[in-house]
Amino acid sequence: MSQLRPGREVMVIGVGLHPFGRFRDKDLASLARDAVVAALKDSGVPWKDIPVAYFGHVYYHGMSVGETALGPLGLTGIPIINVENACCSGSSAFWQAYWGIASGMFDLALAFGAEKVPSGPVTVTAADSPERYIGGDHMMAGYALRARRYMAETGAPPEALAQVAVKARQIAAMNPFAHRKDTYTLEQVLASRLVADPLTLFQCCPTSEGAAAAVLCAKESLGQFGVDAGRAIRVAAATLTSGSYNGKGSDHSAFSPYRTAQAGQQAYEMSGLGPEDVDLVQVHDAATIAEMQHLEALNLVPPGEGWRATLDGRTALGGAIPTNTDGGLLAMGHPFGATGIRMVHETVTQLRGEAGPRQVPGAQVGLAQCSGAGDVTTVQIFTK
């Protein structure tokens, strides 16, 4: 498979975030630009040196928003590509930036993403779709179907699911960029309003606004651009998959976690690393159930053990496999275009040893996984 044969080493040399939350008076392009300026400053590379940019977003804010966001930094004439790939839009932009460099086409690349997600349940299909009448197009109902099945198969109690949300808020209380920083008890999570049982409101990620950006550079070009090699983080793998036949058909809402296994396996092969090497992980915890299922699919906990790992504290900061170390989707919120690059931001910050009170001591290898409608899945592995 060609995507497993990179031509040369790629490093992340700068990351930037716009805080996640609600910013009614700021347009999408402004959110995005703030994250880009932060990432460029972090990298030390000036905008005029960037030869290509990929922008992830989903909702329509007019055409060519990537160009609108970057134009005010100076019209340098570079290719700017707008990327829509559902909840993996940001990580797909990152994937393209990675391969743009690995293939030898560019020495530097910018990946950024932003979103202003409207409030209320998220749907995947267009307004005139038959799904409006069938009732199956409901993101959290899809996760609820998975949750009930998982609980029946593994014996996981409702408290195990709720603990994922409790952990997310505890971590986010230490993260100034998070949408939700207030903490909850297990009882409060379980007693919050039912959205689609067994999932209560606090077990569903908030819809949010925010932006994230990353600057990538060929390892062999670090010197040429005066980059601090000591803070550069290596991209050991970047994979992207879509749905493959699973014997059951593809109903977009009932995402099957096995697709994570596929993208994860490719990433392990590409990096030459295995689950035992991973020190910390970011997974797509759009709902509590998703975190434990993705951890199982990535072989970071044994099959059917995700809920026990959660209750045991194995997934907490200080546990054997610290998971969603910035608060994840459940507390950061989920601006679709930004989320995948937000995970890159967190992983790079951790591997640099710059995560402050959230720091995982001695972290050498980090993995980030994102999944979205269309059964899109991305996995990246980063090493110090």
Partner 1 sequence: MTQPNRNKPQSVDSRRLKLTNDAGTQGVLLGSCCRQCGICVFGSASFCQSCTGGDLATVELSGQGILYSYTIVRVPPAGWPGPVPYILGQVELSEGPHVLAEIVDCPETGLEIGMAVVLALAPVKTEGSEAVKVVYKFRPQLTTAGASKARLEAQRKEKP
> Which range, of 121-129, 154-162, 217-225, 326-334, touches partner 1 by CB under 8 A?
121-129
Among 25, 60, 62, 120, binds partner 1 (CB under 8 A): 120
Among 13, 195, 287, 373, binds partner 1 (CB under 8 A): 195
Sheet containing 53-56: give its strands across.
80-83, 53-56, 108-116, 209-218, 10-21, 233-241, 376-383, 365-372, 280-282
Distance from C-alpha of 263 to C-alpha of 378, rounded to nearest angstrom: 6
Judged by DSSP in three states, 177 sits in coil
Residue 138 as a binder of partner 1 (CB under 8 A): the answer is: yes
217 catalytic per annotation: no
Number of other residues whose CB lies within 10 A of the CB of residue 312? 15
Residue 334 as a binder of partner 1 (CB under 8 A): the answer is: no
Cβ of residue 21: shortest distance to partner 1, in angstroms?
A: 21
Among 32, 38, 87, 141, binds partner 1 (CB under 8 A): 141
Cβ of residue 261: shortest distance to partner 1, in angstroms?
A: 18
In whole angstroms, how far apart are CA 21 and each of 69, 115, 202, 299, 353?
19, 11, 16, 32, 26
Among 77, 247, 318, 362, binds partner 1 (CB under 8 A): 247
Among 134, 187, 303, 354, binds partner 1 (CB under 8 A): 134
Judged by DSSP in three states, 21 sits in strand
Q: Is residue 112 exposed (0-12), middle (13-18) or buried (19+ Cβ within 10 Å)?
A: buried
In whole angstroms, how far apart are CA 168 and each of 186, 316, 329, 330, 346?
12, 9, 8, 6, 14
Residue 196 as a binder of partner 1 (CB under 8 A): the answer is: yes
**Per-residue tokens: 17:** 């975030």
Cβ of residue 119: shortest distance to partner 1, in angstroms?
A: 11
Give me the 165-194 binding string for partner 1, x by CB under 8 A, dash otherwise.
----------------------------xx
> Which range, of 36-44, 75-83, 124-132, 161-169, touches partner 1 by CB under 8 A?
124-132
End-to-end CA distance of the chain: 26
Residue 309 as a binder of partner 1 (CB under 8 A): the answer is: no
Give me the 198-237 binding string for partner 1, x by CB under 8 A, dash otherwise.
xx--------------------------------------
Cβ of residue 248: shortest distance to partner 1, in angstroms?
A: 4
Residue 157 as a binder of partner 1 (CB under 8 A): the answer is: no
Cβ of residue 379: shortest distance to partner 1, in angstroms?
A: 23
In whole angstroms, how far apart are CA 89 and each of 34, 83, 105, 170?
18, 6, 22, 27
Q: Is residue 153 exposed (0-12), middle (13-18) or buried (19+ Cβ within 10 Å)?
A: exposed
Distance from C-alpha of 365 to C-alpha of 374, rounded to nearest angstrom: 29
Judged by DSSP in three states, 328 sits in helix
Residue 121 as a binder of partner 1 (CB under 8 A): the answer is: yes
Q: Which 17-56 residues touch partner 1, going by CB under 8 A? A: none
> Which range, of 11-19, 123-131, 337-345, 366-374, touches partner 1 by CB under 8 A?
123-131
Cβ of residue 177: shortest distance to partner 1, in angstroms?
A: 27
Residue 149 as a binder of partner 1 (CB under 8 A): the answer is: yes
Cβ closest to partner 1, residue 78 vs residue 151: 151
Distance from C-alpha of 199 to C-alpha of 89, rounded to nearest angstrom: 25
Cβ closest to partner 1, residue 77 vs residue 135: 135
Handedness of CA 311, 316, 321, 327 (dihedral sign): positive
Strand partners of residue 368: 282, 380
Distance from C-alpha of 262 to C-alpha of 271, rounded to nearest angstrom: 14
Cβ of residue 135: shortest distance to partner 1, in angstroms?
A: 5
Return the active site residues: 87
- Interacting residues with partner 1 (CB under 8 A): 120-121, 123, 127, 130, 132-138, 140-141, 144-149, 152, 193-199, 245, 247-251, 253-254
